[in-house]
Amino acid sequence: MNKKYAMAYIIDRCIDCKACMVSCKAEWNVPEDFFRTHIDQGLKKELHGKFRMDFLPSQCNHCDKAPCVTVCPTKASHNREDGIVYVDRSRCVGCKYCIPSCPYDARFYNHDLGVAEKCTFCLPRIADGLEPACATTCPGNVRVFGDINDPASEISMVLGAAKENKQKVWKLREDLGTLPNIYYIQK
């Protein structure tokens, strides 16, 4: 069976330290002012006037039906067989159309190279058998990366355990029909 890479975030563990953002930037020389992964904060009012802050990491969702792949005129953005949505830099003309097409705002324009850029699940690293830089760096072990087609992989175990323990598992904006591959787990 083909590999299908995905990532799960156990978001109760996220403390918004931004180590993932920094490691990604350092690993891939991401241009100034841009990040391939983000952590967003949400402030919620609870009972008795107390507030609660939620942290939600996000990155490219490597959607099975990615809008960026549909709208890319040159087919530079494409779905690889292992589930990764990849931008072929030698084909991208830099028309920027994919950037507003992404409902997760995961892409940005690299002014130096003149191409669209985003998370690649650290493709060269995983080819060497390493984990993506963000998953390796995360001190809280929020990010679990792996092949969800392999029942013995860590991510399959984590997702299975979450299901068994009736934890909340969801993906972002599934209503848009993009079939994303980043799982969010919350107790």
Partner 1 sequence: MVHQEAFEWYIAVYLFLAGVGAGSMVVAAVADMYDREKYLSFIKAASLIGMPLVSIGIFFLYIDLGQGMWKPWLLIFLFANPASAITWGTAILTIFTILSFIYGAYNLGYLKIGCSRCLNWLLIITGICTAGYTAVLLGSLKAIPFWHQTALPILFIISATSTGISGAMIVKLIFLKSDANIKPIETAHLYLIVLEIIMLIGMMLIALQGVPEMKYAAESLLFGDYAFLFWFLLVFTGLLVPAIAFGMEEAHKLHMKTKTVVTLEIMVLLGGYLMRYLIIHAGVYTKKFAEYIVR
User: What is the binding site for partner 1 (CB under 8 A)?
Assistant: 40, 42, 44, 54, 56, 58, 67, 70-76, 89, 91-97, 99-105, 109-111, 113-116, 168, 170, 172-173, 176, 186
CB of 129 to partner 1, least distance (A): 31
Q: Please, are residues 37 and 16 in contact by the beta-carbon 8 Å criterion?
A: no
Element holding 9 (H helix, E strand): strand 5-10
CB of 30: closest distance to partner 1 in angstroms? 16
Residue (92 or 144) nearer to partner 1, CB: 92
7-44: b or e for each residue (b if 16 or more CB lie within 10 Å)?
Answer: bbbbbeebeeeebbbebbbebbebeeeebbbebeeeee
Residue 164 DSSP symbol: H
Nearest approach, Cβ of 25 to partner 1 (angstroms)? 19
Q: In DSSP terms, which residues pair with 108 in a beta bridge?
A: 117
Q: Which is nearer to partner 1, 28 or 109 (CB)?
A: 109
- Residue 150 or 174 with smaller CB distance to partner 1: 174
Q: Which is nearer to partner 1, 50 or 129 (CB)?
A: 50
Task: Tell me how far, at minimum, the Cβ of 4 lies from partner 1, in Å.
Answer: 23
Length of the chain: 187
